[in-house]
Amino acid sequence: MRSISSLSAVVLFACAVASVVAENNDEIDLRPRWTVGQREYIEFTWDNDDTYASSDTSPVGKPFKARIILGFVQRVESITSGVGTTLSLTIDRVALELRTDEEQFACDTDRPSQSKGTPRLCKRIQALIGQSFEVLINDNGVVVSVTGADAVAQRIMPTGDDDPGYAQYLSFPLTDTIQQGIWQRFWGCYAFAEVRVGDKWLRTMPGTKWLPSLGVIYRLTRLDKQDGAPVVIVTYRMHMAEEKEWRTITEDLRSKSGPIEMEGQAVIDLRLLRITNRTEKCDQQTQSRGTKNGSFPQWWSRIESKAKHRIIVTSMEERKASRTSQAEPRPAKEAEPADKDDER
């Protein structure tokens, strides 16, 4: 199971406007109108439907489903001309659900009573609530840096035999590099300029050990109305035919990822001056071959992943109402153990 989670984590990962528009050829100032102290709730949901095959588990391939939910309270901390805008992201919800033919794990900080399996990992997931990091976005819409996410990821790293690799599904997307790519795709929906229907703009996501730097092309596709409110539809896509190979340090494995196909759509409410939702789908393959832990001299694995991502953005009042309607209070935080032995 650990081999599934550590490799599948790789494939998991990878807008407001100024005025209401009456005509398709009108220019739209497609850049955020931030004010210091402004807060809103942003929730990411990743659904992955994978097929995993390897020489030591299931050579013919077996299904593996994963869902990750990360909810953040975003606050505008500072706006500096020529430097950019600093946003703080505070974790307000975490959910992880994994299913295979043989196993199931579920934990949701909004619904703690519905957790299934590995209670110590669920406690560590619960402890992520309130942890924060910062994102700096320059005046051109480029996510310059993410600071502090690595420290948050360390809090959820695997700690022992009670955790069969599940924690990597959360520690991987919470790293600085992956968060930079996640927020670049999100804020990439803004052109950070005046644009018309049909205009395109490019945003580049930083490269990682597993993936090269990737360019995402956005397009202001059309004007529309939803629930009586004027909106604009921004679509985007990315194609990577190149395969990138890497080698692990702890295991003598050579792995490669690609090709990747990704496309998405964001709905931007002109009245609320923000993205109301964004959907995305991504297909990717990852393959590994080599010696794994010295146990399998000719070990190999292959993952084919079909992922769907969804993002919702709401006010803090809407977030509070949603949590209240679930009528399930969060458990009180416990003091962190001094070491693993104390935890046991």
| Residue 3 predicted with pLDDT over 70 | no
294: CB partners within 8 A, 6+ apart: none
Taking the C-alpha atoms of residue 218 and residue 260, their distance in angstroms, rounded to an integer, is 17
Phi, then psi, of 294 in degrees rounded to 5: 70, 5
- If one compares 330 and 133, the residue with the highest pLDDT of the two is 133
Report the DSSP pairing between strands 39-54 and 229-240. unpaired
- Name the pLDDT band for 254 (thresholds 50, 70, 90): low
- Name the pLDDT band for 43 (thresholds 50, 70, 90): very high
Write out the DSSP string of 66-129. EEEEEEEEEEEEEEETTTEEEEEEEEEEEEEEEE-SS-EEEEETT-GGG-BS-HHHHHHHHTTT
Lowest mean pLDDT among 150-159, 253-262, 296-305: 296-305
Q: Work out whether the CA dihedral 41, 16, 188, 280 comes out positive or negative.
A: positive
- If one compares 5 and 14, the residue with the highest pLDDT of the two is 5
Q: Pseudo-torsion of CA 180, 183, 187, 188, nearest 10°?
A: 60
Q: How far is CA 136 from CA 53, 91, 177, 303, in A?
A: 40, 17, 13, 34
Taking residues 101-111, report their average pLDDT. Answer: 84
**Do 219 and 208 meet the contact criterion of CB atoms below 8 Å apart?**
no
Q: Mean pLDDT over all residues of the chain?
A: 77
- If one compares 174 and 311, the residue with the highest pLDDT of the two is 311
| Residue 48 predicted with pLDDT over 70 | yes
Q: What is the pLDDT of residue 171?
A: 75
- If one compares 52 and 321, the residue with the highest pLDDT of the two is 321
Lowest mean pLDDT among 193-207, 218-232, 240-254: 240-254
Q: What is the pLDDT of residue 343?
A: 39
Taking residues 315-322, report their average pLDDT. Answer: 92
Using DSSP's 3-state secondary structure scheme, residue 2 falls into helix
Q: What is the pLDDT of residue 287?
A: 65
Q: What is the pLDDT of residue 91?
A: 96
Taking residues 241-257, report their average pLDDT. Answer: 55
Q: What is the pLDDT of residue 174?
A: 83
Report the DSSP pairing between strands 244-247 and 214-226. unpaired
Q: How far is CA 39 from CA 31, 76, 181, 314, 324, in A?
A: 17, 7, 22, 10, 19
- If one compares 21 and 78, the residue with the highest pLDDT of the two is 78
Taking residues 29-36, report their average pLDDT. Answer: 91
pTM of the model: 0.76
| Residue 260 predicted with pLDDT over 50 | yes
Taking the C-alpha atoms of residue 53 and residue 68, their distance in angstroms, rounded to an integer, is 22
30 strand-pairing partners: 193
Give me 113's structure tokens: 């009573």
Lowest mean pLDDT among 30-44, 120-134, 160-174, 260-274: 160-174
Give me 1's structure tokens: 């199971």
Taking residues 129-150, report their average pLDDT. Answer: 95
How remote is the C-alpha of 29 from its chain's centroid? 27
Report the DSSP pairing between strands 143-147 and 132-137. antiparallel
pLDDT digits (tens, 9 = 90+) for 159-203: 655 555 667 777 778 888 888 988 998 999 999 999 999 999 999
Q: Work out whether the CA dihedral 101, 103, 109, 114 comes out positive or negative.
A: positive
Taking residues 250-274, report their average pLDDT. Answer: 74
| Residue 292 predicted with pLDDT over 60 | no
Taking residues 82-105, report their average pLDDT. Answer: 89
| Residue 288 predicted with pLDDT over 90 | no
